């Protein structure tokens, strides 16, 4: 049996040639995520491949190093596991567990919108993950359906920690997805953990409605609507869900649920969650509302298809002017 990458991020001397890149699972600004197989085994992983030159050009060095550090520290049932990282002259590589069920976003688009019970189930799992991150002083800052994967049993796995940051008090970087930004990020007031609870309010609304509460054709239109704070609730919304969303989408963060004295407990005790057994949920002992169809551990049917790039494009071997910027990879 070949050696398997471990999960503590320790350097194990892996290189790209140890893996077979099978299919693109997703693309981003400076790289892509592949389904990969550890050669000589039937072990499948997701490999995030980031072009160093692009990371540097887009001034994302700090974000990428921070993502690696944070993921190495995290170990939680509802968060994707980082197994190891390595680099070559051209790219940075992050080897992550492969989450076979695809993005929650795809399942939401297919369904149009989720029922009250489905939305509550996913929200409860996400709350436990945010609570765990906040206990480590990590702000996630990129909650949205595209960053939520479903595992083979249909449980949530949060992925993409490019905007996550360790912050004890406040930070000032403008980052995130326009529809999900809290007012204090838009106004550059300095922000902390409360932005994740705001984003949770947006996410609950989007799962129940099929669209976010503040949307427009351009980001500035979205920001104006967020700051105006007018939410139009569809008539089918459960009254308790509506109450929770209002308390999370409170512009004044000193009054925002999740950011008060009892922290996340205030959210967990909200009437919408009446009857949720949090410990049973944490043990993944509650059957998920959607169990993704998959026939084997490397099944990609739950992911969209992307045009592939040639191997030559991936590997441009030569001088590496950036190695010193990514010492921990």
Q: Show the CA angle centred on residue 141, arms to residues 109 and 108, nearest 5°.
A: 10
Rounded Cα gap, residues 45 and 72, in angstroms: 16
In contact, 294 and 35? CB cutoff 8 Å:
no
Rounded Cα gap, residues 313 and 310, in angstroms: 5
> What dihedral do alpha carbons 151, 157, 159, 165 form, nearest 10°?
-170
227 secondary structure, DSSP code: H
User: What length does the chain have?
Assistant: 329
From residue 15, alpha-carbon distances to 88, 177, 183, 249 in Å are: 8, 33, 43, 45
In contact, 16 and 315? CB cutoff 8 Å:
yes
Pairing relationship of beta strands 138-139 and 156-158 according to DSSP bridges: unpaired
Identify any residues that bridge with 47 across adjacent strands, giving them in sequence order.
34, 95
- Which residues participate in catalysis according to the annotation? 142
CB crowding 64-73: b at 16 or more within 10 Å, else e:
bbbbbebbbe
| SS3 of residue 49 by DSSP | strand
- Backbone dihedral region for residue 210 (phi beyond 0: left; psi -120 to 50: alpha; all else: beta): left
Chain centroid to CA 244:
22
Contacts of residue 264, defined as CB under 8 A and 6 or more positions apart, other chains included, come to 127, 130, 131, 134, 258
């Amino acid at each position: 049996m070949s050696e398997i990458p471990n999960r503590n991020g320790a350097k194990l001397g892996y290189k790209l040639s140890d893996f077979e890149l099978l299919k693109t699972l997703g693309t981003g600004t400076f790289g892509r995520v592949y389904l990969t197989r550890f050669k000589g085994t039937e072990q499948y992983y997701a490999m995030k491949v980031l072009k160093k030159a692009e990371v540097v050009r887009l001034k994302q060095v700090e974000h990428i190093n921070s993502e690696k550090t944070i993921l190495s520290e995290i170990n939680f049932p509802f968060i994707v596991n980082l197994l190891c990282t390595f680099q070559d002259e051209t790219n940075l590589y992050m080897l992550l567990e492969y989450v076979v069920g695809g993005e929650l976003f795809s399942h939401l688009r297919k369904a149009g919108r989720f029922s009250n019970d489905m939305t509550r189930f996913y929200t409860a799992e996400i709350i436990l993950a945010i609570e765990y991150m906040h206990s480590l002083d990590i702000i996630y800052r990129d909650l949205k359906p595209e960053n939520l994967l479903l595992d083979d049993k249909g449980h949530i796995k949060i992925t993409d920690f490019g905007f996550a940051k360790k912050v004890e008090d406040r930070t000032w970087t403008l980052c995130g997805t326009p529809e999900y930004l809290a007012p204090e990020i838009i106004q550059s007031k300095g922000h902390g953990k409360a932005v994740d609870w705001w984003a949770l309010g947006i996410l609950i609304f989007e799962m129940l409605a099929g669209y976010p509460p503040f949307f427009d054709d351009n980001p500035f239109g979205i920001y104006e609507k967020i700051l105006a704070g007018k939410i139009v609730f569809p008539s089918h919304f459960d009254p308790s869900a509506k109450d929770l969303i209002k308390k999370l989408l409170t512009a004044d963060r000193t009054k925002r649920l999740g950011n008060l004295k009892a922290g996340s407990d205030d959210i967990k005790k909200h009437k919408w969650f009446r009857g949720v057994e949090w410990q049973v949920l944490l043990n993944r002992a509650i059957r998920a509302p959607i169990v993704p169809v998959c026939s084997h551990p490397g099944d990609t049917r739950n992911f969209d298809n992307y045009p592939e790039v040639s191997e030559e494009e991936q590997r441009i071997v030569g001088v590496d002017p950036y190695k010193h910027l990514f010492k921990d990879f």
